């Protein structure tokens, strides 16, 4: 049975939706806020922004993160920048233009109203960060500087050298720390959320594992906010932190929250390729490098000459050849697929044949080494640290890597999932990026969600809870949830097999990368599901977790996360299978133009695919939220 998804999009013209909707939202009085508890899981940009904003309002906020400090969440690793429609450059930027770029960049698979709102609050985010002391780049007059980014024609990206994510996160972390000192926010670091607790149909708490003692803890609240990031580590090798995982969001899915567009996952084109078999992490090289670097492979298959020894005429600058209009600056999804196409055809370079060159020779000749050093110095250093190769002398080798998940928990306009009282913000929801995210939009969305949107919408829900009182943690649902978590831990510990969690994770990642990566086809996806089933079976027979559950046990943490990834992977495949079109990052071999470009099918697939959990070993059920486009003209994306 198809469920009617109520996205609660307000009526009225696009530009006035948020402001008029906000005015109608109910409030909780300051005296009553003290009586209300809110749990925030995750301390990345979205989580720590939300927690500090809610703390400032006077709620009792409990914050959870698996790291030892909130400052280490993986938002810290974002490099490029954060978008805002400030129009400081007088280049005719506006909220509408930012909205339009995001819609187009997302290949028309995002919800208009949410995207417009994200663009609308972007300016407030920049102002707030500036006030918090985030050291954004400035020009000599002392005003904020901006730079341009892929897929847009204006310069609207604010940045802090190559460490914008770090600086923004330290900003939200500072406001969080201030609330901790004030006593409105309580920190619970080194906790893994294992389950969400539903009492009488509402999210009322979580079960968390204390990573130091192994103890399962019950925490109750009137609302639960998930800011737990994406699930890109499903590929094992990704640009994400090693601790990043899907488990928290997945526990919500299992409890009935719908999961939207799971197959939309962005593969970033410029990461340092795999160098050895023990590698567990791919390091991103900022997209900005493609401004000056030229991407090429040898014209001859298997040309093993040193790159410097390959003359111009033997080089294939394939991006410039295929996309003369945009050249090396095509969007991420296009660049990634083109690299994969060359490598699969046997033109890849390096020992593995799985990389392409990103060459700065021409840029250095034209602009001088100093100019290049000024622009990309820290990135070049990082590259040399990791590979031992000096990119001023020799071209970089790059290859695509799993990066960002556009898919996530389905939320309505209030950012609430289908479970009342359970919210999802930042990357953990499916929200604003459609089928492909534009560079520097993720920081913008996370901070907008956390600082300016959620604090408003959540009060409307909490207005009903001012008389509820403390939620007790000794009720049956807490009991059951804790029991379920303990049981799962017990099962994993009891297997006593031979293979490590990382080894399973690696094999799982390979299946996902090969069958549900940059290019997908029905046969491969079906085979992927089969392989996942088999691997999961093997996992439950042969996983090896040394030590006990009652102590700091990193192997157990890993195993718990990998156990969830089998289901994540299957759902990704299912979603990719049903979406018989190519859009954004989702590319189906069956649906491409004669020249090998993505072919969208707006008539049949202009919807959000939201999946419902129906039980273990049962096929999940998909619900559709139709997408309407009243304010943008739906066009074909072409970069030729």
Partner 1 sequence: MNFTLKIWRQKNATSKGSFKTYSLDDVSPEMSFLEMLDYLNKMLIEQGEEPVVFEHDCREGICGSCGLYINGRPHGPMRNTTTCELHMRAFNDGGTIVIEPWRAKAFPVIKDLVVDRSSLERIMQAGGFISVNTGSAPESNSNPVGKPVSDKAFDAASCIGCGACVAACINSSAMLFAAAKIAQYALIPQGKTESKERVDQMVKQMDAEGFGFCSNTYGCEFDCPKGISIDFIALMNREFFSSKVCKQRHT
Q: Which of residues 525-584 bind partner 1 (CB under 8 A)?
A: 544, 546-547, 551-552, 554-555
Q: Give the binding range for partner 1 (CB under 8 A) out of 133-141, 228-236, 310-318, 482-490.
A: 133-141
CA distance 300 to 376: 31
Per rule CB under 8 A, is residue 77 in the interface with partner 1?
Answer: yes
Min CB(547)–partner 1 separation in Å: 5
From 1, 31, 181, 325, residue interacting with partner 1 (rule: CB under 8 A): 181
- Least distance to partner 1, CB of residue 143, Å: 5
The residue assigned the tokens 């790159």 is 307
Q: Please state whether beta strands 396-405 and 356-359 pair in parallel, antiparallel, or not at all (unpaired).
A: antiparallel
| Interface residue with partner 1, options 43, 52, 60, 429 (CB under 8 A) | 52
Min separation Cβ 72 and partner 1, Å:
4
Task: Please say whether the beta carbons of 237 and 402 come within 8 A.
Answer: yes
- By CB under 8 A, the residues from 402 to 461 that bind partner 1 are 451-452, 455
Dist CA 155 CA 99 (whole Å): 15
CB-count burial class (<10 Å; 0-12, 13-18, 19+) for 528: buried
Q: How far is the CB of 417 from partner 1 (least distance, A)?
A: 23
If one counts every other C-beta atom within 10 angstroms of the C-beta of residue 344, the result is 13
List CB contacts of 329: < 8 A, sequence separation 6 or more. 150, 290, 291
**177 contacts partner 1 (rule: CB under 8 A):** yes
Residue from 502, 542, 592, 601 in contact with partner 1 (CB under 8 A): 502
Does 598 bind partner 1 (CB under 8 A)? Our answer is no
We find the least distance from the C-beta atom of residue 492 to partner 1, in angstroms, to be 14
Residue 71 binds partner 1, judged by CB under 8 A: yes
Q: Pick one of 5, 41, 76, 562: the residue that binds partner 1 (CB under 8 A).
A: 76
- Using rule CB under 8 A, residue 337 touches partner 1: no
- Say which of 332, 337, 342, 397 is annotated catalytic: 332
Site for partner 1 (CB under 8 A): which residue of 48, 146, 167, 582?
167
What is the 8-class DSSP label of residue 453? I
Q: Check residue 126 for interaction with partner 1 (CB under 8 A).
A: yes
For residue 102, the surrounding DSSP H or E stretch is: helix 95-105
Q: How far is the CB of 189 from partner 1 (least distance, A)?
A: 8
Separation CA 284–CA 291 (nearest Å):
16
Residue 212 is a binding residue for partner 1 (CB under 8 A):
yes
Q: What is the DSSP string of 191-249?
A: EEEEEEEEETTEEEEEEEEETTT--EEEEE-SEEEE-----GGGGSSBSS-TT--SHHH
List 8, 26, 34, 138, residue binding partner 1 (CB under 8 A): 138
Question: Strand order of the sheet with strand 146-147?
Answer: 82-83, 157-158, 146-147
Tell me whether residue 305 is one of the annotated catalytic residues.
Answer: no
**Interacting residues with partner 1 between 604 and 623 (CB under 8 A):** none
Pick 135 or 596: Cβ nearer partner 1: 135
53: contact with partner 1 by CB under 8 A: yes
In whole angstroms, give the CA distance from residue 350 to residue 388. 14
Q: Collect all residues with Cβ–Cβ distance below 8 Å to 617 and sequence separation of at least 6.
A: none
Q: How far is the CB of 451 from partner 1 (least distance, A)?
A: 5
Which positions are annotated as active-site residues? 332
């Amino acid at each position: 049975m198809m469920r009617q998804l109520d996205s609660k999009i307000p009526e009225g013209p696009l530009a006035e939706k948020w402001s008029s909707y906000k005015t109608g939202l109910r409030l909780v009085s300051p005296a009553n806020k003290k009586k209300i508890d809110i749990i925030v899981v995750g301390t990345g940009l979205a989580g720590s922004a939300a927690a500090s904003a809610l703390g400032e309002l006077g709620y009792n906020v409990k914050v959870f993160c698996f790291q030892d400090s909130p400052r280490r969440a993986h938002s810290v690793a974002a490099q490029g920048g954060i978008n805002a429609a400030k129009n400081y450059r007088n280049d005719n930027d506006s909220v509408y233009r930012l909205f339009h770029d995001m819609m187009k960049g997302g290949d028309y698979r995002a919800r208009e109203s949410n995207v417009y709102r994200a663009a609308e609050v972007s300016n407030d985010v920049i102002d707030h960060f500036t006030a918090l002391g985030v050291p954004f780049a400035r020009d000599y007059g002392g005003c904020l500087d901006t730079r341009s980014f892929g897929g847009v024609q204006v310069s609207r990206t604010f940045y802090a050298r190559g460490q914008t994510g770090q600086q923004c996160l330290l900003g939200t972390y500072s406001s969080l720390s201030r609330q901790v000192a004030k006593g409105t926010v309580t920190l619970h670091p080194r906790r893994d959320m294992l389950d969400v607790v539903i009492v009488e149909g509402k999210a009322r708490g979580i079960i968390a594992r204390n990573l130091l003692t192994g103890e399962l803890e019950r925490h109750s609240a009137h609302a639960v906010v998930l800011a737990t990031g994406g699930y890109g580590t499903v590929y094992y090798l990704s640009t994400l932190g090693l601790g990043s995982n899907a488990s928290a969001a997945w526990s919500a899915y299992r409890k009935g929250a719908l999961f939207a567009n799971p197959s939309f996952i962005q593969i970033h084109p410029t990461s340092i390729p795999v160098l050895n078999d023990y590698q567990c992490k791919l390091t991103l090289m900022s997209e900005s490098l493609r401004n000056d670097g030229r991407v090429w492979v040898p014209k001859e298959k298997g040309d093993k000459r040193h790159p410097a020894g390959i003359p111009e005429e033997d080089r294939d600058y394939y991006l410039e050849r295929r996309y003369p209009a945009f050249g090396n600056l095509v969007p991420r999804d296009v660049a990634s697929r083109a690299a994969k196409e060359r490598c699969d055809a046997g033109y890849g370079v390096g020992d593995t044949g799985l990389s392409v060159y990103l060459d700065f020779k021409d840029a250095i000749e034209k602009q001088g080494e100093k100019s290049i050093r000024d622009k990309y110095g820290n990135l070049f250093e990082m590259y040399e640290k990791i590979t031992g190769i000096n990119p001023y002398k020799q071209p970089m080798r790059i290859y695509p890597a799993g990066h960002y998940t556009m898919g996530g928990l389905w939320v309505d306009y209030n950012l609430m999932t289908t479970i009342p009282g359970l919210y999802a913000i930042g990357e953990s929801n499916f929200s604003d990026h459609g089928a492909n995210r534009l560079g520097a939009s993720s920081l913008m969305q996370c901070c907008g969600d956390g600082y300016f949107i959620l604090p408003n919408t959540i009060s409307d829900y909490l207005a009903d809870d001012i008389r509820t009182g403390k939620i007790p943690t000794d009720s049956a649902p807490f009991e059951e949830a804790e029991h379920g978590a303990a049981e799962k831990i017990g099962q994993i510990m009891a297997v006593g097999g031979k293979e490590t969690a990382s080894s399973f994770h690696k094999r799982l990642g390979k299946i996902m990368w090969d069958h549900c990566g940059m290019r997908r086809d029905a046969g491969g996806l079906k085979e992927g599901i089969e392989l996942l089933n088999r691997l999961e079976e093997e996992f439950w027979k042969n996983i090896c977790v040394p030590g006990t559950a009652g102590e700091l046990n990193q192997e157990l943490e890993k195993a718990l996360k990998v156990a969830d990834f089998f289901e994540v992977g299957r759902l990704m495949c299912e979603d990719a299978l049903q979406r018989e079109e190519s859009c954004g990052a989702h590319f189906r071999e069956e649906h491409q133009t004669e020249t090998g470009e993505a072919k969208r099918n707006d008539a049949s697939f202009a919807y959000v695919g939201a999946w419902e959990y129906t039980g273990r070993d049962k096929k999940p059920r998909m619900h559709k939220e139709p997408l309407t486009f009243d304010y943008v003209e739906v066009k074909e994306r072409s970069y030729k």
